[in-house]
Structure 1
């Protein structure tokens, strides 16, 4: 069986064919044993073929609860931070909220990648109770990029729970007044725009996430409006 898997993996690893990749995934999924899941996990982590990695990763979620529990166990066993960050990503994609308790401690990790994936996964899985957690880490986080992702993770929660804006907007308004980094100001403003449905002059590309417009001018518009409230 392993010989056949290895030959199929070699073939899949050398092509960008979706059919070949998907056929290989289905071959892996036939083995539901712990050994089969371990083989699937190792091939997912080891391949350098980005298309194959994506299909094998998302395909792991097709294993259901047993597969997710296997991945949760890997958070304790896996030593490689990149591989561990891949596990966090998959648990986030699962949509199963019980894994938040496994993911949230990685907000304190020394690894940038682990903190990043934890932030993103919390945005995907979290309810309103996780907004305070994200806000508390905003002041602790030193990396500007990750502070931006903490803001957009709150927006992800809002997209699922519209009432969350009442917890998010006061925080954003307060940070906007004191923030001097233009990258972070821009992210705060586009999130304010999404939550309030009011345009203040910035545009966010839906594909690249690139923000354009007069950042300082937009900030001044919001500050002026707040002073009038």
Structure 2
């Protein structure tokens, strides 16, 4: 039987290690730390892991790994995070917790319907970051019934980045629910006719391209906004495709 004092000592050791690791970009060292943290299943270890999610004064490697790994805590971690999410009011933290909750989406996740409901509520938030994370999670957990509410943000969100994410969300919904393709494509066609922002336009074109399987000229994996010439050519092809579909 493991001595409880050993677990307490192990957690204390991890706390000390974190101060030397906080700004590390060494993936191996970070993964080792997180692996040792996940080996501890006590309430204190769970709370410590959660508290690390509140501390964004770290390297991106450290913070992203801590967030992604929380979903590996299984049912206990999922229940704990749901309770914390419901008690939090600060929008940025709520957005982070919603994102982490959305990562509980494997077969062992038990509360995906609740998480999806939280994401739907986030879509109506006045806070840009919370709407953004709501879109991400709806892309993972949503259904074709969510297409109209995502469509509202596709043309109505005040932030161009969220209009781009709305297009991506429609694409992910259709991946999981192919019957939603006609409704999603109608919304993308309407958005293409109204949108003026390059970032959002590129998201619309990529989503239309991936849903239809047609080559419209943009990369789905690129994180760079395309040049004006490349985007204009892709938009021309996309409009032609939508126009042909309407005939």
TM class, shorter-length: 0.7 to 0.9
Q: Which residue is 1:37 aligned to?
A: 46
Q: Which residue, out of 188, 206, 225, partners 2:221?
A: 206
With normalisation by structure 1, the TM-score equals 0.85
CA contact (8 A) 2:142 2:173 kept: yes
Q: Is the partner of 1:203 in helix, strand or coil?
A: coil
* 1:120 and 2:136 correspond: yes
Residue 59 of structure 1: how far off its partner (Å):
1.6
- Cα contact 2:155–2:191 (8 A) shared by 1: no
Tell me the distance in 1 between the aligned counterparts of 2:173 and 2:50: 29
Match of 1:67 in 2: 77
1:183-194 equivalences under 5 Å are 183-194=199-210
Once the two structures are overlaid, the 10-residue window that deviates more, 86-95 or 155-164, is 155-164
Task: Name structure 1 gaps, 5 residues minimum.
Answer: none
Residues 218 and 17 (structure 1 numbering): CA distance in 2 closer, same or farther, change over 3 Å? closer
Residue of structure 1 equivalent to 2:5: none
Change (3 A) 1:22 1:226: closer
- State the 1:41 CA deviation: 0.9
The separation in 2 between residues aligned to 1:16 and 1:143, in whole angstroms, is 31
User: How many angstroms does 1:139 deviate by?
Assistant: 4.4
| Secondary structure, counterpart of 1:60 in structure 2 | helix
Partner SS for 2:103: helix
Correspondence for 1:5 among 7, 14, 22: 14
Partner of 2:34: 25
1:63 shift after superposition: 0.7
Which residue in 2 is equivalent to 1:84? 94
Separation (CA, whole Å) in 2 of partners of 1:30 and 1:218 = 49
**2:166 aligned residue:** 150
Compute the displacement of 1:111 (Å): 1.9
Please report how far the alpha carbon of residue 146 of structure 1 lies from its aligned counterpart in structure 2 after TM superposition. 0.9
User: What displacement does 1:28 show?
Assistant: 2.3
Structure 2 CA distance for partners of 1:153 and 1:227, relative to 1, 3 Å: closer
Deviating more after overlay: 85-94 vs 7-16: 7-16
What is the TM-score when the length of structure 2 is the normalising length? 0.80
Report the count of equivalent residues.
228
Please name the residue that 1:105 is paired with. Answer: 121
CA RMSD of aligned residues (A): 2.5
Q: Which residue of 1 aligns with 2:4?
A: none
